Structure 1
Amino acid sequence: MELATQHPAYVVPRRTQTIDGPKRFPGVQWIWRGAILVVYEVHPQIVVKVPIPEERESFANEIKIYEAFSTRPPCPSTVQCFYYTENGIFLEYMRDSTLSVRIQHNQVRDESTEVVTKIEKLEPIALRKRWMNDLAQAVAFLESLNLAHGDLRPENVLLDGCGAPYRRFMNGTEPGEEANDTSAGNLSPRTEQFALGSLYYFINYSFEVYGDRCLDPDNPREHGFKMIGLLQNLIFPELNGDSLIDDIIHKCWHNKYRKVTDLAEYTEALLVKEPSAAEDTEAGSSEDATWKKVLCQDLEYRGLLEFLCSDEPVKLGFPLGWYKYSETA
């Protein structure tokens, strides 16, 4: 693990009146608040997550994930971390849409039931295969660290400006812990590949599993519970798309891959057959990461993290800025 250069401690002056955060730190903007943390934009390409005071223990668990990440070369299919301390985590700012929003633009839905009645278009096959591989590589990276995501769904997949998906690791946990999805059980390669199978279905059919039918006409709101029941009983919709991709989905749903790493090796081989999909998805250059890390360290040295952790954003003078990913957790 690379150790950051130590700077003299910075003490935030005691506040006797409302502080104008934007004036003190120009360019910093509050963009999101979650259950355990607040997210600020600190640069057009960088955000920082800081803990809510009463949730420092939960935030410390998230830091452990990035500590594990730092022991390996960066994975191109994950959001890059530039620098972290106990008071904040500086990350790559993904400004494009989510996979969920991107695919929903291709759908026509019944307004009363939310059932998908028509697909205007499918994404290009080469792009779909690249998405599948990027997701497999990201989850395999977690697996190599004995971690699992536990919440793999379209809303949690961010797309870069070129349409490449990047995992947003908000809740990596060790295999054996409970998954957020009540249909999944304890986290393991089985639960992760099952979730990947459903993501792959969404990518290639342009609607979620059973999203094209009303499972409870008398009470459409019960659709989710009905769908979970079917999946728990291993009752899946018919696969009638690309035979190669359908085979991958089927194997993911039926736990045919020993590890996600095996799946990732297979999806990577698919790209060799699709020259148009071989776009550059490498992590940012070392020079790019270096200056961003230096910028983050400088912000810490100037007291930004201590300041942002000292109170609620509004009390620090930050109004809530525009954030297009409000549907994600």
Structure 2
Amino acid sequence: TYKNLCEFIPILGCNSSSPIKAVDLNPLIQQLLTTHSGSTIFGVGGHSVLLSITEDIAAKVSLKPSGKHVRHEQSIFKLLDQVPCPYIIHSFLCAPNITYMPLFKNGTLYERMSMDDKPRPVLQWMLQLSEAVACLESLGYAHGELNPRNILLDNQDQLRLVDFDHALKIGDDLDVGYEPYVRASKAAQQISGGTYGKAGPITEQFALGLIFWYMSRGTELYAELDGPDKVDRLIEGELPVVNLENPIDGIIFDSSPVTSTDRMIQQPRKRNVRFRR
């Protein structure tokens, strides 16, 4: 309910550089919940709230009036209309502060990987996600925040890439990300770019490779490590070896660029190969 949202907002923004207070919430949120009978709050992010308007229609509303992230995502939706891709979510209608789009209730890829009783068509998902990323790249953009939480599944187990709030033009500084799907450069190696380099094929392919790893293993890379240890290993380029005799590992090898200084963790009875540039 809207009351629950007002209580949750201070918690959501407690670590934010620009926290949101309940009094700052976009009045459109309450208006939509009141106007559309049966509508509910489906999800809340850092910049927007997703409302379930009907069983298959959602409204993404900026948490604050005139929020720049929703406006930016709408500009990406407009570009995506030029190259429709079945594995990218598209908008039905964009208006000030609100975007109407399809609603998928099957959850994210991250949630799906915890369900051992459901099939995992990994090769199908790899192909679909690659096509979605290539579609964005054809427009001159990188998603900028590729990770399993930004990938939805529809009722037919088809992937839908979502959340373009942080999409960047190729070559722009990349400062947003979620390890292990991004990695910072060593201070001595970072000549230019954002925290995670410059958005483009290298950063997107790195994320793809680690998502493919997650799809095929069922656990995220270095999930057993604490945050700082995970970050350190990524910065140092300590990435696991892959078995080229396995077709999926071969794709991971081809899609995951690394620098020439990266080292591999040794594993017995497997070819010592490394994700390549």
On whether the aligned pair clears a TM of 0.5, the verdict is yes
Runs of 4 or more, structure 1, over 4 Å off, are: 19-23, 121-124
1:34 is matched with 45
**Equivalent residues in 2 for 1:88-127, closer than 5 Å:** 88-106=98-116, 123=119, 127=121
Q: Are 1:82 and 2:76 matched, yes or no?
A: no
1:130 corresponds, among 116, 121, 124, to 124
Q: Are 1:237 and 2:240 matched, yes or no?
A: yes
Distance 1:62 1:28 in 2: 23
1:200 is matched with 212
List per-residue Cα deviations over 1:93-146 (Å, max 9, x = no partner): 01102111211233xxxxxxxxxxxxxx8955xx11000011101111110111
Q: What percent of counterpart residues are identical?
A: 26
What is the aligned-residue RMSD (CA, Å)? 2.6
Which of these two proteins has the greater Rg computed from alpha carbons? 1
2:254 is matched with 251
Task: Quote the offset at 1:37 in angstroms.
Answer: 2.0
1:177 is matched with 173
Q: Check the 8 A contact 2:106/2:154 in 1, yes or no.
A: yes
Q: Check the 8 A contact 1:151/1:179 in 2, yes or no.
A: no
Q: Are 1:53 and 2:64 matched, yes or no?
A: yes
Distance 1:248 1:54 in 2: 44
- For normalisation by structure 1, the TM-score amounts to 0.58
Higher RCO (CA < 8 A, seq sep 6+): 1
Task: Quote the offset at 1:22 in angstroms.
Answer: 5.2
Q: Are 1:158 and 2:152 matched, yes or no?
A: yes
Query: Secondary structure in 2 aligned to 1:35?
Result: coil
Aligned residues: 212
- Structure whose residues are more often helix by fraction: 1
Q: Check the 8 A contact 1:239/1:246 in 2, yes or no.
A: yes
Q: Gapped runs of 5+ residues in structure 1?
A: 1-18, 107-120, 216-222, 257-329
Distance 2:167 2:31 in 1: 35
Task: Quote the offset at 1:149 in angstroms.
Answer: 1.0
Query: Secondary structure in 2 aligned to 1:50?
Result: strand
Q: Check the 8 A contact 2:66/2:96 in 1, yes or no.
A: no
Query: Secondary structure in 2 aligned to 1:104?
Result: coil
1:308 is matched with none
Q: Check the 8 A contact 2:50/2:61 in 1, yes or no.
A: yes
Distance 1:167 1:20 in 2: 28
